Amino acid sequence: EVQLVESGGGLVKPGGTLRLSCAASGFTFSSNSMNWVRQAPGKGLEWVSSISRSSRYIYYADSLKGRFITSRDNAKNSLYLQMNSLTVEDTAVYYCTRTNAGGEDFDYWGQGTLVTVSS
Amino acid sequence: QSALTQPASVSGSPGQWITISCTGTSSDVGGYDYVSWYQQHPGKAPKLMIYDVSKRPSGVSTRFSGSKSGNTASLTISGLQVEDEADYYCCSYAGGSDLYVFGTGTKVTVL
């Protein structure tokens, strides 16, 4: 059974940093691209970042303005999101998702981790 | 990249069918056959319902179907059931600086 479990969310002050992790199991992690998708309270889904299987290609939403860094460790079956210079607009549930192999959709989602940016 | 446009809400009675539209541009919906649809119940993670415009993942009811014409994709739910009441989001591969773009979301209410 495919499982994606996010951790690392919490309360952080504006300008602060946070690192999210996603532990994957139930599939060959190195065979799929992975992604972060976020959802602000009461709002819609927003794509944040994608990373290819070997980390050769990493993409970010333009709106992030270079503040976030996505990485993965295939040996540890883990995905990471380093978030810097956080603002209140970054407050959201952050989901780890798997890209369907050979496709461009998100076939599995974690339960999400809440990041709250507030003074 | 702007969000894809969806109606804010759609409603129907049990047993009826409804259609949710998702309008983008030739740079996203119209440019690729990579439109997907997600169902999200309150407090839960989204679930993939349709991918590659019209394909259903294993385990998803055949009552859900997808299509696309030009820059607009559509999700149809036939034989509406109470458990279909949820938020639905479309998503398209965009291939540009914003690799993917989501729709604004549609709340489906079963009357």
Share of chain A above pLDDT 70, in %: 100
- Mean pLDDT, chain B cut into blocks of 10 residues (111 residues total): 94 96 96 97 97 96 97 97 97 91 98 90
Query: Closest to A103 (Cβ–Cβ): which among B1, B52, B104?
Result: B52
pLDDT at B61: 96
The neighbouring-strand residues paired with A114 are: A93
Tokens at A69, concatenated = 């860094």
Between chains, do A44 and B91 touch, taking CB under 8 Å as contact? no
pLDDT band at A102 (very low <50, low <70, confident <90, very high): confident
Pairing of strands A113-117, A10-12: parallel
Chain A CB contacts of B48 under 8 Å are 100, 105-108
Share of chain A above pLDDT 90, in %: 95
SS3 sequence of B27-39: CCCCCCCCEEEEE
Dist CA B80 CA B15 (whole Å): 5
- B94 near B37, Cβ under 8 Å? no
pLDDT at B83: 96
pLDDT band at A83 (very low <50, low <70, confident <90, very high): very high
The amino acid that residue B64 corresponds to is F
Closest-CA distance of chain B to residue A109, Å: 7
Q: What is the mean pLDDT of chain A?
A: 97
- A17 near A106, Cβ under 8 Å? no
Which residues of chain B approach chain A closer than 8 Å at the C-beta? Answer: 1, 3, 32, 34, 36, 38, 40, 45-48, 51-52, 57, 89, 91, 93, 97-105
Dist CA B87 CA B109 (whole Å): 9
Query: Closest to B98 (Cβ–Cβ): which among A47, A104, A106?
Result: A47
Pairing of strands B106-110, B9-12: parallel
Instruction: Look up tokens 């993965």; give the residue.
Output: A72
pLDDT at B89: 98
> Nearest to residue A2, comparing CAs of A33, A24, A30, A21?
A24
pLDDT at B79: 96
pLDDT at A65 over 90: no
pLDDT at A75: 98
Pairing of strands A92-99, A34-39: antiparallel
The rounded Cα B77 to chain-centroid distance in angstroms is 10
pLDDT band at A8 (very low <50, low <70, confident <90, very high): very high
Between chains, do B45 and A44 touch, taking CB under 8 Å as contact? no
Query: Closest to B100 (Cβ–Cβ): which among A47, A107, A109?
Result: A47
- A50 near A59, Cβ under 8 Å? yes
Asked if the C-beta of A94 comes within 8 angstroms of chain B's C-beta atoms, the answer is no
